[in-house]
Amino acid sequence: MGASPLALPDFPWDSLREAKTRAAGHPGGIVDLSVGTPVDPVSPAIRAALASEPAQEPGYPATWGTTALREAVAGAMARRYGVLGIDPDAVLPTIGSKELVAWLPTLLGLGAGDVVVIPELAYPTYEVGARLVGADVVRADSTAALGPRRVRLVWLNSPSNPTGRVLPPEQLREVVALAREHDAVVASDECYLALADPEERATSVLHESVSGGAHTGLLAVHSLSKSSNLAGYRAGYLTGDPRLVAELLQVRKHAGMMVPRPVQAAMVAALDDDEHVAAQWARYRSRRHRLREALTGSGFKIEHSEAGLYLWATEGRHCRQTVDRLAALGILVAPGEFYGPSGAEYVRVALTATDERVDEAVRRLDRR
């Protein structure tokens, strides 16, 4: 008899097939705002690095990444987010950030009886990673959830997917302090951190204002998919507590979790160039403004949504009704229930469509 399959939830976006078909049947074509997949071009400098001579070496890449890559991460964290003093030895490239999110409980040795705390509204893969090891999941946005439980891992996500909410440093600091009392690891998913204006105070968990100047028990998870349009490259990294990073490195060596050398070269080019990141955020900011105005003008209420790639919107009805109503206009969005029970009356509207498609969505909403 074969082993029983893992008790994992259905892949959420599979449930959108009918709505997607309906939206695609619109005479003006579909405007797909359901996923955070980049549509804008990759910087020429990054493409050139991908094809450079050093990137073509035939041997296996190092799991730890090149020295140039780890130094580029340390430099970018300092310039972009004010996180000073990162030791390049405490940097580890990842195959995008989703694989790290899914496998971190496994890599940390969690199992049955351990508790993983995730945000009340959260990217579904946080829960999947806990289920893969049989750990318990607690959804909570406050430190009260830590209580007497055997908490081993706490996920933070600011700016948030799906809500775009930015957590202030004092709230992050409170979570870090209590997690340290429990000897729990705090993993901060910061893949949208570059997509926030300075006044929004989007802060890394490694920043001194949060960490107290020590990275003990802290991991920051980053992706270049959103800020540099490298979703197809699978380019991410983590950094933080040197002891934890060293432990994760050893496990990843055994598991063969290596970022291809051409991708590492492309990552260096992306991390060394802040201008293309600023230009990309300006595109998203413009799309955010246009879509926000159109949605509020057609009766939606927008909550949070100050940073990142999404608008968190509600008509005050169940999310699936809203999905169907927008699909009739040829606009596809993600139902809020994908991200937790408290999202049942919301939809997530992605900014990842071309300007032409965003303008088309605005026209249809204005005529609604």
> What pLDDT was estimated at residue 368?
67
Calpha distance 351→287 (Å, rounded) = 6
> What pLDDT was estimated at residue 276?
97
pTM for the full predicted model: 0.94
**In this predicted model, what pLDDT tens digit does every residue of 6-53 receive, in sequence order?**
677 778 778 899 999 999 999 999 999 999 999 999 999 999 999 988
**In this predicted model, what pLDDT tens digit does every residue of 321-339 receive, in sequence order?**
999 999 999 999 999 999 9
> What pLDDT was estimated at residue 87?
96
Place of tokens 């406050």: 142
Please choose, from the candidates 327, 284, 323, the residue with its C-alpha nearest in 3D space to the C-alpha of residue 164. Answer: 284
Is the CB of residue 132 less than 8 Å from the CB of residue 106?
yes
Please give the chain's pLDDT, 368 residues, in tens. Answer: 344 456 777 787 788 999 999 999 999 999 999 999 999 999 999 999 999 887 788 899 999 999 999 999 999 999 999 999 999 999 999 999 999 999 999 999 999 999 999 999 999 999 999 999 999 999 998 766 677 778 999 999 999 999 999 999 999 999 999 999 999 999 999 999 999 988 878 999 999 999 999 999 999 999 999 999 999 999 999 999 999 999 999 999 999 999 999 999 999 999 999 999 999 999 999 999 999 999 999 999 999 999 999 999 999 999 999 999 999 999 999 999 999 999 999 999 999 999 999 999 999 999 86
> What pLDDT was estimated at residue 5?
52
Is the CB of residue 158 less than 8 Å from the CB of residue 166?
yes
Max CA separation in the chain (angstroms): 59
Place of tokens 């797909």: 32
Please choose, from the candidates 188, 184, 242, the residue with its C-alpha nearest in 3D space to the C-alpha of residue 215. Answer: 242
Calpha distance 106→117 (Å, rounded) = 15
Domains annotated on the chain, with CATH: 12-41+276-367 (3.90.1150.10), 52-272 (3.40.640.10)
Please choose, from the candidates 313, 295, 316, the residue with its C-alpha nearest in 3D space to the C-alpha of residue 304. Answer: 313
Please choose, from the candidates 249, 261, 195, 212, the residue with its C-alpha nearest in 3D space to the C-alpha of residue 58. Answer: 261
Calpha distance 138→118 (Å, rounded) = 6
* SS3 annotation, the chain: CCCCCCCCCCCHHHHHHHHHHHHHCCCCCCEECCCCCCCCCCCHHHHHHHCCCHHHCCCCCCCCCCHHHHHHHHHHHHHHHCCCCCCHHHEEEEECCHHHHHHHHHHCCCCCCCEEEECCCCCHHHHHHHHHCCCEEEECCCHHHCCCCCEEEEEEECCCCCCCCCCCHHHHHHHHHHHHHCCCEEEEECCCCCCCCHHHCCCCCCCHHHHCCCCCCEEEEEECCCCCCCHHHCEEEEEECHHHHHHHHHHHHHHCCCCCHHHHHHHHHHHHCCHHHHHHHHHHHHHHHHHHHHHHHCCCEEECCCCCCEEEEECCCCHHHHHHHHHCCCEECEEHHHHCHHHCCCEEEECCCCHHHHHHHHHHHHHC
Please choose, from the candidates 60, 40, 36, 66, the residue with its C-alpha nearest in 3D space to the C-alpha of residue 267. Answer: 66
Tell me phi and psi for residue 356, to 5 degrees.
Answer: -60, -45
Q: How far is CA 43 from CA 26, 51, 210, 299, in A?
A: 33, 13, 33, 38
> Residue 235 has which token pair?
């380019």
